[in-house]
Structures are given as structure tokens and as C-alpha cells.
Amino acid sequence: MKKLSVFFAIIFAMMGIVRADEGMWLPMFVERLNYVDMQKMGLQLTPEELYSINNSSLKDAIVGLSNGAHPRGFFCTGEIVSANSLLFTNHHCGYSSIAALSTVEHDYLNEGFAAKNYSEELPAEGVSASFLVRMEDVTAEILSVVTDDMDWMARNKAINEKAKELEEAASEGGKLNPVIKGFFEGNEYYMFVYKTYTDVRLVFTAAQSIGKFGGDTDNWMWPRHTGDFSVFRVYADENGEPAEFSENNKPLTPKHHLPVSLDGVHPDDFTMIWGFPGSTERYMTSFGINYNVEVFYPIIHDIFKAETDVMDEYMKVDKAVNISYADNKAGLANTWKNFEGQMKMLRKNKVAERKAELEAQFTEWVNANEDRKAEYGEVLETLETMYNQLSEVAGTLLYPNFVAQCTPMGMAAEFIEYYSVATSKEASKEEKQAAVEALKEIDVDEMFKDLDARVEKDILVAVMNIYGSNFADDEIPANIQKLLKKQKGNWTALAEYIFDNSIFSDPEAIKAFIEKPNAKKLAKDPTFLVFTDLRSQMYSIAAVYRMANIAISEANHSFVKGLREFYAETQPEKVLYPDANSTMRMSYGSVKDYQPADAISYDYVCTANGILEKYIPGDFEFDAPQRLLDLIEAKDYGQYADENGELITCFLSTNDITGGNSGSPIMNGKGELIGLAFDGNWEAMSGDVNFEPKLQRTINVDIRYVLFIIDKVYGATNLIDELDIHKAMPEPIRVEEE
């Protein structure tokens, strides 16, 4: 083999092995890969106490939150903290349920909610809680169906069929929910077997002026003073098995629940986080990064930012609108600010350049061997070519797509099938009548539920203006051009005309049409005309877009396969971990401050004093309840104060997390709950692609602040009484005799 250059050898030496803080590790490998390291850092539990399939272990207190009885992924994490399955998670994780349960008369979003007993707990409809029963390596079984003559599509089809077969066999007749997922870009496969409970109830939430204190302004920022937590409970039937909501259900008796520590945190304390991180892309190439930063992220950012700006305008002044749009707005706002941060920090931290250096090393290694050249020689070139193709067509797909999702466009989509059949010369009378009958199945009231016409109209105006600014005149479809010409080229006027003159903006008009459908009338509706043009525009490049993504998927599979061989040969001491994919992971690190820029240093904790400093009466983001302000002014913190008499709201740790870890427990070396992970920091927004050890921090709400809000602010002492609260006794003061 050709010897590596001195330069590359130096690079390898500098890179070394994976840092303890970096990595989202599979629990079944903790003893083999991580345990010794964790012990040195302060872990006091045995491997069996962390992960066991035969005995109660820490994993049994970790819950994946999702929707439905058979989830394949999780939007957040929760943890069981009592013998009656009290469940802590983030406020923003419970936000959708809290908003759905809120009304103008019972505004839990803005006033909070505290159940005094089981009978007052409110069903969180649609939310499920999944416990991991076991995980197992099924790589050999899955890949046994793959043959050398298969193309990528045939390979995936065979794998999916085999996965369904194995999942069905492990489901015990539907009692369990097995999920098989690929790792390392489809080079390994693991099965996760869950027991999923669908009766989950809201127990407690603070007002969003606590749970979302700081709003979008503080999102991803430090210092932080957000009480980002909410409390639920998991219910089961009399046998402790999953069951739909019933008044007869009882709180589940869990296999394990986490004790709570009031000892607080100090620099370099050991920390570990368990949960269900959603998605990272640590093996993404420089080509993928450049595509995201220059093309994909800007499109999503601009659209979502425009939509949330419209929502904000009305939500600030209308209580009903605030409740109706709260959940949707929160999701959109979190995404656009995340992408804004990624665009900035991927550039600032020079992640693409660092990936390009690795790709150069990989290429030199590949070219040093003819067999490797034959297998991996074109992988990076393919990725570059395919990402260039995506860059050329992404706008033509994405901009029309987001306009087509606006009201009234999304409503018109429901009538495409009817129009296609009604205007078809080949369709029989029976088929046409069936299409008419199918219209009657459309639940118009449900479609318009919680929508405000003013908000929807202004969103359409905003999104159509973005669409219009990104296409030349000759790139705009014919019907849209004609309508735009009638409005003298004014996109705002066009959007308003569409909204004001379409049946799809008015639920009663849609109902009248369903009673007496008319394809000719539909063909003249401005919304329907624009929607069909947008659909045709998307279809014109859909095949190219799809094939490019398929080629990227295949090339990524080969690249990661080769990269693992490259590291095994050149850096055998380097332990690789798979990307997050909404499966249970463990990360470990320590409590630590950071220095984000020259002459700037951030402490590892922040206190309730910052709430007073940020407080703006009546502000949409920085208002706070008077009860909370009074307690802070009086420093009336009770047992939740630290050794200096201050109340810590949030603290930093070096744990490696991402979306989906929201609500995850952060624990000390004894496995005691010390806080809830809820955010990353702005300076390391590039962290999903490349871990940044000097900058990357997890922001955690301190468990003492959580309990302070429950106890002192809301007086929900019934919940405090459920917890196993631990606090070390102070060391006695010893006076030596002379």
C-alpha cells in the first residue's frame, strides 16, 4: 500500500479517538465500548443497572413519545419519575397536547394546569409512550436477502420485506411494536422491540410564560431561563398492559423510575443523557453540506419565517388565534431558527472545508489500492454530481410545494381526483358517480377547524410573494401568468384575488359544491387553476429530484462502508458511532462552561435573577407570572436553593444530543435525575453534522427549578410527594483538638 503523507499522518494524530463527550451510543454496547470511560468520569452504576433485558434497569424509565400504537420514531423523550408512572418531559414536547386541550375558557397554555388527583388528569389524545423491551442485531438476517446482482431499488425492496417478516415474528401477535432500522447508511441493522401505551394524560403544565419564557428570541441561546418542562402520566389496564383510554385504567406500575437529586451541579460533574435522538448527519460529505447551506435551508427558512411572522401578528392580539396556531407556529419557528443557525455556524465553523479534508484523505487511501478504486473510486464524484442536480431543481419543486400547501390550495387538492374522473372520456358513468359520492366523505368542518381566514389569507400573500420573486416570467406556468397579468404583475393582489374569489376559502361554499358538483365550475376557480399549475410545475422535475436522491442514498451507503474500512486500517483506535435515527441512545459528558468568542465567557449555570433582568410586562416572549416574580424578588426558594441561596434555572453539559432528545433525563453518576435536556447552543448549530467539542453544549433545565415551579409557584405538592427525592447531608464541621 502507498504510504500516507506526513501531512495526513499528522492530521490523524491530531484527530485521535472519539472524545468522551461525543457520540450517541447504543445501550446494548455500553459495557463493551463505554463503561470503563464512564466509570473514570464518575459513573457509579453497573452495566446491568444501566441496560438489562432480564432485570429492571435504567433503560426501563426512558420513554419515547410519539403518536399512535405502532410508532416507528419519536418526537420527544420522557422519563418515569414515580412508582405511579409520573412522566417528565419538556414543555415544548407537551405543547401540542396542551394547546389541543386549551380553550378560551380553559386556557392551559397561558394559565397552566395542575391536576390535584387522578380524576382531574386530562387525556392527551393521540400521544403514546413506548418503553424499550430489548434491542438486537439483525444485520445478518437482513442482509441475507441481498445479492450482488440487485440494483439499489431491488435491494431496498428485499430488505424492507425481510424487515417486515422479522418485525411480525417479534410482535407476539401485536402485543409488542418491533421496529428495524438501518445504521451506518444501511450497512448494519438493529431491531428495537417496544411496548407502547396509548393512554397518556396531562398532569401538570406551567403557563407558557414560564415554559416558553424567552420565546423564539432565546431559542438555542445561552444564558437561558426557560422552565421547559411538563408532566404527564402513563395509564394501563388492570393487568398493566397497554389499553385505549378508559376510566377504569390505572396508573402503570413501571419496572424502574428515576429518583430525583437536589444536590445540584458543579463543574466537571459526570452527566449522562438517555433518550431518542431523531437525526444527525455526521457522515455527510462536503457536497451535502454545501447543498443544504446554499439551497435547501434558505428556501425552508424563508418560507417558514414568513409564515410565523404572519401568525405572530395575530397571535399577539387575539387569544383564540393564539391557542389555535400555537402548536403549528412553534414547530415552524423552531425549524426556521434551527436552519438559520445551521447556515451561519456551518460556514463559521468551516465544516464543509473540514469534511473536504477528510474526503481528500479517503481518496488518497482509495487510490492506493486497485480493489478499493474499483469499489469506491467514483463514490465522491457521484455525490458531487447528484447534489449539483438537486441544486438545479430544488427551487422548482419546493417553492410551488409550499404555495400548494397554503389555504385554500390545500383544500383544492382534495378535489383533484373528482375532476380527473369527471372530465375523463374513458371513465364510466359508475366511476363518475363514485367520484361524486367520494366528495361527500370529505369532512369540510375538520379541514377548516382552528383556521382563521385573516391569518390564512396573509400567509398565502407572503408565500406567493416569495414564490414570485424566485422565478423569471417565462418560468411561471401559463394559468398563473394570465391571472398575474390581470393583477398588473402584483403578487399580493393575485394572492388576495385568489383567496377572495375561490370556493376553497369558504367552508360553506365547498359544502354547496359537494351537494351539487360541477367540473366546469371547478375548472374556472382561481385556486384550482393555480393549484393544478403548481402541481404540473412540481411534476416537471419530480423524477429528476427523486432519482438524484436515490443515487445519493446509494452513494452514501458506499461512502460510509468505505469510510469505516478506512478508519479501521488507518485509525484502529477510533470508535465509530452510528448517526441518530430515533432509536434509544446514551450520551455522557460533564457539566462545563464555554467561551463562544474572543473575550466572552459563559458560566455553566444561570439563575432566576435573569428572569427579572429579562422580564418585560405584557411582552409576547418575556412576560412572567406575578407569583414567580414575587418569589424571586423575595428569594423564597425553599429547599430548591443552591448552597449560595440562589435558584438555578438551567445548566450546561457537554453531552451529545439532537432533536428527539428533548425531554431526555440528564442524570448524575448515581442515575439520579438532575435536569431535563431541552436545547443546544447557537454557536454549535453545526453540531448535527460535525461535533464541536470546544463549543457544543446541551442546555438543561435544572430539576430544582422544575420542582420549585410545581411546588412553590403552583402549590402542586401532591406531585412532589410522589417523587423519590434525594439530598446529601452536609458534611459535619470538625474541630481538631489542640
How many beta carbons lie within 10 A of that of residue 267, not counting itself? 12
DSSP assigned state of 196 = E
Residues 287 and 389: their CA atoms lie apart, in Å, by 11
How many beta carbons lie within 10 A of that of residue 561, not counting itself? 17
DSSP code per residue over 406-437: STTHHHHGGGHHHHHHHT-SS--HHHHHHHHH
Residues 590 and 271: their CA atoms lie apart, in Å, by 5
Which distant-in-sequence residues (6+ apart) come within 8 Å of 125 by Cβ?
97, 100, 245
Contacts by residues 361-369 (CB-CB < 8 Å, ≥ 24 positions apart)? 361/4, 361/8, 361/11, 361/12, 361/566, 362/559, 362/562, 362/563, 362/566, 364/2, 364/4, 364/5, 364/8, 365/4, 365/566, 365/569, 365/570, 366/562, 366/566, 367/2, 368/1, 368/2, 369/1
Nine-digit cell at 475?
Answer: 418560468
How distant, in Å, are the alpha carbons of 56, 142, 299, 553 from that of 158? Answer: 36, 9, 35, 16
How distant, in Å, are the alpha carbons of 649, 694, 730 from that of 641? Answer: 10, 30, 14
C-beta of residue 633 within 8 angstroms of C-beta of residue 682? no
Which distant-in-sequence residues (6+ apart) come within 8 Å of 486 by Cβ?
497
Which distant-in-sequence residues (6+ apart) come within 8 Å of 431 by Cβ?
421, 424
Q: 51: closest CA among 310, 264, 327, 255?
A: 255
Whether 266 is a known active-site residue: answer no
Whether 106 is a known active-site residue: answer no
DSSP assigned state of 591 = B
Catalytic residue among 21, 216, 218, 228: 228
H or E element that contains 604: none
Whether 92 is a known active-site residue: answer yes
Nine-digit cell at 616?
Answer: 418585560
Contacts by residues 140-145 (CB-CB < 8 Å, ≥ 24 positions apart)? 141/166, 141/189, 142/166, 142/180, 142/189, 143/189
Q: For the CA atoms of the chain, what is the radius of gyration?
A: 28
Local structure of 708: helix, strand or coil: helix
Residues 692 and 355: their CA atoms lie apart, in Å, by 13
Nine-digit cell at 20?
Answer: 468522551
C-beta of residue 79 within 8 angstroms of C-beta of residue 63? yes
Residues 519 and 420: their CA atoms lie apart, in Å, by 9
Catalytic residue among 85, 230, 324, 662: 662
Question: What type of residue is 324?
Answer: S
Residues 718 and 555: their CA atoms lie apart, in Å, by 56
Residues 461 and 496: their CA atoms lie apart, in Å, by 7
Strands (E), 184-323: 188-197, 199-205, 230-236, 250-251, 260-261, 270-275
C-beta of residue 74 within 8 angstroms of C-beta of residue 65? yes
Q: 654: closest CA among 610, 580, 607, 604?
A: 604
Catalytic residue among 70, 91, 92, 557: 92
Burial 70-82 (b: 16+ CB within 10 A, else e): bbebbbbbbbbbb
C-beta of residue 490 within 8 angstroms of C-beta of residue 334? no
Local structure of 655: helix, strand or coil: coil
Residues 179 and 594: their CA atoms lie apart, in Å, by 38
Catalytic positions, please? 92, 228, 662
